[in-house]
């Protein structure tokens, strides 16, 4: 019997996403889409497995969150590489903005929780939404400029979400802090 720990599942999910990135660079879009979806779903099960096995740990949560960010960087990086190979500079820029904004969305949530603001989850592009939109773009990449447009939408909506979350944090802190003297 396979004794899979939650941290092992996190690592397997990350390795699978790296494989999807390589498949994208090699232009195996359909295979990349299936691998990306399968391993992104398996990665979402590590917390469930940890709770079911009674193995939830602070390090496990940290490892999962950290590798989620790196995996997002790998996927968007691979997409950016394909755009650079195709000479679509604007799409490379949109990919960079999508990556930056997705990191800010995730960071702002984590940082706000560290500040005691535990309800900063608003906006259109949380991690699940980014995964779904990116996955759709990967599957549809062979169809003209669909991936470029998907990344442009991802960049725009992730940026709006990042701005919204920063505004929400400011508003929450202003409500709890006395005005400066």
For this structure, is 43 an active site residue? no
Tokens 């799409």, located at residue: 91
Closest CA to 156 of 144, 164, 145: 164
* Residues written for the chain: 181
Provide CB contacts within 8 A for 164, sequence distance 6+.
122, 123
DSSP state of 123: S
Active-site position among 68, 86, 119, 174: 68
Instruction: Compute the distance between CA of residue 65 and CA of residue 133 in angstroms, rounded to an integer.
Output: 20
Whether residue 1 contacts residue 57, with contact meaning beta carbons closer than 8 Å, is answered with no
Which residues are marked as active site? 68
């Amino acid at each position: 019997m396979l004794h899979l720990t939650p941290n092992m599942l996190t690592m397997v999910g990350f390795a699978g996403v790296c494989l999807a990135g390589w498949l994208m660079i090699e232009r195996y879009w359909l295979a990349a889409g299936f691998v990306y979806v399968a391993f992104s779903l398996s990665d979402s099960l590590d917390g469930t497995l940890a709770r079911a096995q009674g193995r939830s740990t602070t390090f496990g949560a940290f490892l999962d969150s950290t590798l989620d960010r790196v995996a997002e960087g790998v996927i968007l990086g691979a997409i950016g590489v394909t755009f650079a190979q195709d000479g679509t500079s604007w799409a490379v820029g949109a990919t960079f903005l999508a990556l930056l904004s997705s990191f800010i969305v995730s960071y702002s949530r984590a940082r706000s929780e560290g500040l005691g603001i535990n309800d900063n989850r608003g906006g259109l592009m949380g991690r699940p939404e980014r995964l779904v939109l990116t996955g759709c773009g990967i599957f549809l990449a062979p169809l003209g400029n669909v991936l470029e447009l998907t990344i442009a939408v991802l960049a725009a909506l992730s940026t709006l979400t990042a701005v919204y979350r920063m505004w929400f944090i400011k508003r929450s802190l202003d409500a709890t802090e006395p005005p400066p003297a």
